[in-house]
Structure 1
Amino acid sequence: MTKRLIALGVLLAAGTPLWAADAPRDNATLAARAEAVFGKQAGQSFDAPAVKPSALAPRTETVTVTLAPGKGAEVQAELDAGQGMVFHWSASGDVAVDLHGERTGSKDEYTSYDIEAGQRQGAGTFVAPFAGTHGWFWKNRSQQPVTVTLTITGFHKRLVRHGGQP
């Protein structure tokens, strides 16, 4: 117990917040915290980068857009690097889709993560490889209007929407 208190005191004296979002996320720091809080545990390993703390609370948002024949719309979430979201979208008809991201401050440059020619739904998890907006562009290639509904839960700052009808 005394060793744990000493280790905890060393962390606090060094000004290292124990659970703050901006605390160091390396295995050595995590191992020191584990020993200070719970004592040395046989067989314990550490993978601190597996957790990306967030100062934001997770949010769930649903957006619906209607695509006129031959038209497209884009919905993106603004995320910091390493932050993620869980998503599901469905469409009333086939749409071409490009899941992509744009770095903060970029002009006319983007990175595609997944492209499909004709799809009615998509679901998964996404972790932003860089800070910026990340999301979907859907294009209706049919002769009938298509409605797309997207639900995301994540640590996004806001949704950005371009095109389509509400």
Structure 2
Amino acid sequence: MNEPVDPIGAVVRFYIQSGCPEVLKVETADDMADAVGQLYPLETEHAVLVWNRIPVLLEYRYDIPVLLDDLVPLLEEIQRAEFSETRVYWGSDTFSTEWQIRRDGELLRIDSRWMAVSGSYESLLNGRSQLTVEIRSFVAEWLKVLRRIAYDLGAQSVRLEDHDIAVRVNALLTPSH
């Protein structure tokens, strides 16, 4: 497998393959996270997050819904000019990690601690816990997953009781953002 390279030919150490998961019929849901948990069956394609060349599986049915309520505000926050530092903790059973994120110009420096991932790669990930990535690349990679979800929710015409995260996702996906 060829590793992705950036425009200047450097190997990219953080990327996400969003995949093409199977979709179930969903009519209504409490919010976007609830809808995602209902929309994708357990036995479907995963998203794959690559961290310092280590693949980490993200289940659309369980991991992604847990991430959404923290991921969307994180992506909004790191794009603000005044952003300097934050900490995010994701606590799914198969994606449990804490990231300390600091801005360094147009880069993010992430120190991670991995507690649980599908496939039990925690020690390997903790051995490669530091990552530096361009802000725009970090955002673009996560937007692949959000775009997949927004498309699938729209294709199923899912009605949400609480639209907050969905509206914010659409704002992130808007080209002028």
Same fold (TM over 0.5): no
Q: Which structure: larger Rg?
A: 1
Greater relative contact order structure (CA < 8 Å, 6+ sep): 1
The structure carrying a bigger helix percent of its residues is 2
The structure carrying a bigger strand percent of its residues is 1
TM-score normalized by the length of structure 1? 0.25
TM-score normalized by the length of structure 2? 0.24
